């Protein structure tokens, strides 16, 4: 079984002779990309899926509670969250460090007994050119994951007909990294900003698959040409 996104050089002859079977796991397992499971916390019936991500974690915590698993030898150091920079420096410089545990006072961030709604703040770097580059097709990338950064964006940068105008990511830190590495005209954490940008001709949607359908619909309403990295969105729309 292959776990994670890794290159494969499979010996076909050996698998053939031994009738071996190669299985590629679906990211975190059953429930991945399902908003009802991931966001609303509605678990699958145990008769349908025995070991979901949630049940795996529950079983692990039960083993910890019964002291059948001891993780203390894995913890190399403990730091207060305010000293995170020092912790990462130690991780980079000391090859004997396995795991660093961060300690923080959660009462500073969450009020016990009160419902808390967390949201991603809107974030934008750069203003872009004032006018559309008429000699180019102006592209916005929505979602800068491994496939987008490793395949889609490098291809766009190589094609002289395209101008990479904007990159959209969910977090501000990844937006900063994308701007530094790929040099678009601007980066943002709000994909609706690129839909409102009259200077963008086309959007490439490369986010999580469960987000595709809504983004496709909104991009179509905004009059953008659309390329979707996966066909899942169209299945949901139908």
The strand pair at 75-80 and 99-103 is best described as: parallel
Closest to 197 in 3D by CA, of 127, 123, 135, 94: 127
CATH code for the domain of 139? 3.40.50.720
Q: Are residues 233 and 135 in the same domain?
A: yes
pTM, two decimals, is 0.50
Bridge partner list, 187: 125, 167
The strand pair at 124-125 and 186-188 is best described as: antiparallel
Q: Are residues 144 and 55 in the same domain?
A: no
Whether residue 142 lies inside any domain: the answer is yes
Q: Which two tokens stand for residue 177?
A: 């990294």
Over the stretch 105-154, which tens digit does the pLDDT of each residue have?
A: 766 655 444 443 433 444 555 554 445 567 889 999 999 888 888 888 99
CA dist 19 to 16, 25, 78, Å? 5, 19, 48
How far is the C-alpha of 125 from the C-alpha of 144, rounded, in Å? 15
* Vertex 45: Cα angle to 40 and 48 (nearest 5): 125
Residues in the chain: 238
Number of domains within the chain: 3
Q: Are residues 32 and 129 in the same domain?
A: no
Residue 33: DSSP 8-state = T
The strand pair at 202-205 and 137-142 is best described as: parallel
Whether residue 226 lies inside any domain: the answer is yes
Q: Which domain holds residue 81?
A: 72-108
Q: Are residues 150 and 207 in the same domain?
A: yes
Q: Are residues 128 and 232 in the same domain?
A: yes
The strand pair at 162-168 and 99-103 is best described as: unpaired
Q: Are residues 85 and 58 in the same domain?
A: no
Closest to 12 in 3D by CA, of 1, 20, 2, 3: 20
In this structure, are residues 200 and 136 in contact, taking their beta carbons and an 8 Å threshold? no
Q: What is the pLDDT along the chain (238 residues), one digit of tens a residue?
A: 887 777 788 888 888 899 988 888 766 667 777 888 888 888 888 888 888 888 888 899 999 999 999 988 889 999 998 899 999 999 889 988 889 999 887 666 554 444 434 334 445 555 544 455 678 899 999 998 888 888 889 999 899 899 999 999 888 777 778 888 888 888 888 899 899 998 899 999 998 888 888 999 999 999 999 999 764 444 444 4
């Amino acid at each position: 079984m292959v776990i994670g996104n890794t290159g494969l050089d499979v010996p076909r002859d050996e698998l053939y002779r031994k009738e071996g079977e190669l299985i590629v796991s679906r990211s975190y397992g059953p429930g991945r990309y399902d908003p009802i499971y991931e966001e609303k916390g509605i678990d699958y019936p145990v008769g349908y899926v025995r070991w979901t991500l949630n049940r795996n974690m529950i079983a692990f915590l039960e083993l910890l509670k019964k002291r059948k698993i001891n993780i203390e030898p894995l913890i190399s150091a403990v730091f207060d969250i305010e000293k995170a920079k020092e912790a990462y420096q130690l991780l980079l410089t000391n090859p004997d460090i396995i795991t660093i545990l961060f300690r923080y006072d959660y009462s500073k961030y969450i009020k016990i007994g009160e419902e808390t709604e967390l949201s991603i703040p809107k974030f934008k770097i750069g203003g872009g050119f004032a006018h559309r580059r008429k000699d180019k097709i102006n592209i916005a990338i929505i979602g800068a994951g491994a496939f987008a950064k490793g395949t889609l964006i490098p291809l766009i940068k190589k094609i002289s007909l395209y101008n990479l105008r904007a990159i959209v990511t969910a977090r501000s830190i990844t937006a900063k990294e994308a701007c530094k590495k790929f040099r678009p005209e601007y980066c943002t954490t709000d994909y609706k900003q690129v839909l409102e940008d009259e200077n963008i001709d086309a959007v490439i949607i490369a986010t999580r698959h469960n987000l595709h359908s809504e983004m496709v619909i909104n991009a179509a309403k905004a009059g953008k040409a659309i390329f979707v990295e996966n066909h899942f969105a169209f299945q949901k729309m139908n």
